[in-house]
Amino acid sequence: MADSGYIYILQSESGDHQYIGSCLDPDRRLAEHMSGHVKATAGKGPWRRVGLLQFPTATLARKAEHWLKRLRRREYTEMILAGTFEWPERFGAVIPSRRV
């Protein structure tokens, strides 16, 4: 999908921190987190991407990211990673990516 968007889940190498974000280019965004250019994750890494989900559009990915961040429950992130999370239909077809 040319204009698909992604949600990614990062885990700090120490295991103390998780971060959820959305983007168009997951590899470029991971590099930005690793280099300290993202204020929210600077100084808490190094990071590894543990989850990557593809959404039909970038707008749906951003909306899903904001929705997940409002939930503020780590157990939801764990369910997403395990593949057992039930996404609301309003986010369209969510595809777990093999590019983790």
pLDDT at residue 100 in the model: 64
Which whole-number Å values give the CA distances from 21 to 3, 40, 67, 100, in the listed order? Answer: 17, 10, 11, 14
The partner residues of 49 in beta bridges, in order of sequence, read 10
Tokens found for residue 9: 């889940």
| Tens-place pLDDT, residues 12-31 | 998 788 999 999 999 999 99
Residue 17: what are its φ and ψ, rounded to 5°? Answer: -125, 145
Please give the domain boundaries of the chain with CATH numbers for all domains. 5-96 (3.40.1440)
Longest Cα–Cα distance of the chain, Å, equals: 36
Q: Which residue has the tokens 């986010």?
A: 91
The angle at the Cα of 3, spanning 50 to 73, to the nearest 5 degrees, equals 35
Reported pTM: 0.88
Distance CA 31, CA 86 (A): 29
More confident residue, 22 or 75: 22
What pLDDT is stored for residue 72 in this prediction?
A: 77
